Amino acid sequence: MTIQTMLSMLFGGFQTSLAIFALTLVGALPLGVLVALARQSRIKPLAWLMRIYISIMRGTPLMLQMFAIYFAPYYVFGIQLNPGSKWTAVVVAFIINYAAYFAEIYRSGIQSIPRGQYEAAEVLGYTGSQTFVRIVLPQVVKRILPAMGNEVITLIKDTSLAFSIGVAEMFSTARAIVASQVTMLPFLFAAGIYWVSNFVIESLLAALEHRLDYYHE
Amino acid sequence: MRANAAQQAGPADAAAKGQGAADGLPVVSLCHVRKSFGEVPVLRDITLEVQRGEVVAIIGASGGGKSTLLRCATLLERMDAGSLSYAGLEVARDEGGRAAYADKATVREARSRFGLVFQGYNLFPHWDVMRNICDAPETVQGRPKEEAEAEARELVRRMGLEGCERKVPCELSGGQQQRVSIARALAMHPDVLYFDEPTSALDPQLTSEVLKVIRGLAEEHMTMVIVTHEMAFARDVADRVVFMDEGRIVEEGTPEQVLVHPTQERTRAFLAHGKD
């Protein structure tokens, strides 16, 4: 097998990794906000439910969660699994797992906004949702950006966990080539691609941090 | 109807507004207000009315209940007992020794009638000066952007903040930030403007900038209630001085009466202490 063939196979797998990455962000970034708000809700049962949800998501392996979500429809509802089920299970598991982590980061950010901001908004007549969207959230984003950067970088690497359930992302592809061609090169290439992707993400985050640097408290 | 008229009038029209208030209702009226934090009584039977165009200074030692009174009047804190009205709009009334608050719509309407200037400014740090002043008129009152901006520019000029329009709060001095926060409150066209120790966080130089602005508003007959430690300023600007101690109004009257010829022992003690 030529190196070119190897690389093109790896990039094929990388597209799947990227799709998991992108869908997770698109789903988990907004879901995390809702979870964070529900976690701080005045409705106690809702707040407790969110605490338990976050605790389970953080307290058990993501790999196990993928399997649970993959098999749950069959064992609980008797729904027949189809070839697309694995892909759905991976994406759902990633979204609800990452939403829990994001929610805790959002919560730390929301709680760090001084009371005076809420009071100023209240006296000016802003509604609760206007206050959150216009005044609190933009400040939260700036505060949590470094912590979110960590999670996003972890997410790129975590996409390799989809390998365990049999979704052919880049790591699965690399491992298959390694086994069939008896060479370690695919692992080296895969490592390089993961690292370069994260380098790009780090640069984007740094640029975003720089853009938000126009003010401080 | 009257509320709408008042909202549309700019702060510069405050004098005209005062004459126009033929009904003669006090702008704000607090009656028999009580408030405790847990077991600790902070306000014990406070009654205070402020007339249109009046400037009231509230003085007294820390912990005397001045700030809590302002927080009750601005609905940041709920009274335990007593009543609160804004020119006939009943926000809370006394029901068998407990304060019963009106529905959300009434509370919302009441909020449009006052502004509050905080000790710590509480500007929105992610917005520039213009956005800090324009945003509430646009977002809360739904006024057109051009109108809100034109008025904000006028307020910037009156506050002596020309050239700061595009600066964010962290680029401004404390005195400038406090003047932005006064502009932000004025942009909402309140009937009454509350100040909670507006210069306590400022050095003497910056304090005088802010006091100058407040004095200017007093000359335009803006209705104001000012919690302050600046005795000379209170004497100079206020129509009425209220001395509070241990949750009660101990003495009130003209600055001359309260600050120069106090009749109560506690007022004398406070004033003597303040001078050393």
Q: What is the pTM of this model?
A: 0.88
A58: contact with B, CB 8 A cutoff: no
**A134: nearest CB among B75, B123, B139:** B139
Task: Write out the two tokens for B67.
Answer: 């700030």
Contacts of B138 in chain A (CB under 8 A): none
Summary mean pLDDT of chain B: 90
As to burial, measured by CB atoms within 10 angstroms (0-12 exposed, 13-18 middle, 19+ buried), residue A128 is: exposed
Contacts of A139 in chain B (CB under 8 A): 125-126
**B126: nearest CB among A119, A124, A139:** A139
- Phi–psi pair at A212, nearest 5 degrees: -90, 5
Q: Which of residues 108-127 of A touch B (CB under 8 A)?
A: 114, 116-117, 119-120, 122-126
pLDDT (0 to 100) of residue A82:
84
- Phi–psi pair at B43, nearest 5 degrees: -125, 125
Nearest CA in chain A to B136: A124
pLDDT (0 to 100) of residue B240:
96
- Listed range (A1-5, A188-192, B119-123, B151-155) with the worst mean pLDDT: A1-5
Nearest CA in chain B to A133: B139
pLDDT at B272 over 80: yes
Angle of the A3-39 helix axis to the A44-59 helix axis, nearest 10: 150
- Listed range (A94-103, A135-144, B201-210) with the worst mean pLDDT: B201-210
Interface test with A, best of B132, B140, B167, B192 (most A CBs within 10 A): B140
pLDDT (0 to 100) of residue A178:
93
pLDDT (0 to 100) of residue B2:
39
Task: Report yes or no: B115 and A125 within 8 Å, Cβ to Cβ.
Answer: no
Interface test with A, best of B135, B178, B192 (most A CBs within 10 A): B135
| Domain A3-214: assigned CATH number | 1.10.3720.10
Top mean-pLDDT range of A78-82, A203-207, B19-23, B270-274: A203-207
d(CA A94, CA B205): 57
- Listed range (A154-158, B83-87, B94-98, B216-220) with the worst mean pLDDT: B94-98
Range A180-195 average pLDDT: 94
Q: Is B168 in Cβ contact with A130 (below 8 Å)?
A: no
- Phi–psi pair at B48, nearest 5 degrees: -145, 130
Q: Is B139 in Cβ contact with A139 (below 8 Å)?
A: no
pLDDT (0 to 100) of residue B273:
79
Range B168-192 average pLDDT: 96
CA atoms in the 13 A half-sphere facing the CB of B18: 19
pLDDT (0 to 100) of residue A61:
96
**B136: nearest CB among A119, A125, A217:** A125
- Nearest by Cα to B116 from B47, B191, B59: B191
Amino acid at the residue A146: P
Q: Is B136 in Cβ contact with A124 (below 8 Å)?
A: yes
pLDDT (0 to 100) of residue B23:
65
Task: Report yes or no: B136 and B175 within 8 Å, Cβ to Cβ.
Answer: no
Contacts of A130 in chain B (CB under 8 A): 139-140
As to burial, measured by CB atoms within 10 angstroms (0-12 exposed, 13-18 middle, 19+ buried), residue B104 is: exposed
Nearest CA in chain B to A114: B122
pLDDT at B97 over 90: no
d(CA A127, CA A172): 50
d(CA A206, CA A68): 36
Q: Is B139 in Cβ contact with A126 (below 8 Å)?
A: yes
d(CA A201, CA A213): 18
As to burial, measured by CB atoms within 10 angstroms (0-12 exposed, 13-18 middle, 19+ buried), residue A153 is: middle
**B76: nearest CB among A123, A135, A215:** A123
pLDDT at B4 over 80: no
**A125: nearest CB among B126, B140, B169:** B140
pLDDT (0 to 100) of residue B10:
43
- Listed range (A15-29, B16-30, B153-167) with the worst mean pLDDT: B16-30
Contacts of A119 in chain B (CB under 8 A): 76, 118, 122
Å from B181 to nearest chain A CA? 10
Task: Report yes or no: B48 and B36 within 8 Å, Cβ to Cβ.
Answer: no
B37: contact with A, CB 8 A cutoff: no
- Listed range (A123-137, A150-164, B22-36, B105-119) with the worst mean pLDDT: B22-36
**B188: nearest CB among A124, A142, A216:** A124
Å from A155 to nearest chain B CA? 29
pLDDT at A84 over 70: yes
A130: contact with B, CB 8 A cutoff: yes
pLDDT (0 to 100) of residue B148:
97
Q: Where are the alpha helices (DSSP H) in B92-194?
A: 104-111, 129-139, 145-158, 174-186
pLDDT (0 to 100) of residue B274:
60
Query: pLDDT tens digits for A99-133?
Result: 999 999 999 999 999 999 999 999 999 999 999 99
What percent of chain A has a predicted confidence (pLDDT) above 70? 100
- Phi–psi pair at B225, nearest 5 degrees: -120, 120
DSSP state of B122: -
B115: contact with A, CB 8 A cutoff: yes
pLDDT at B36 over 50: yes
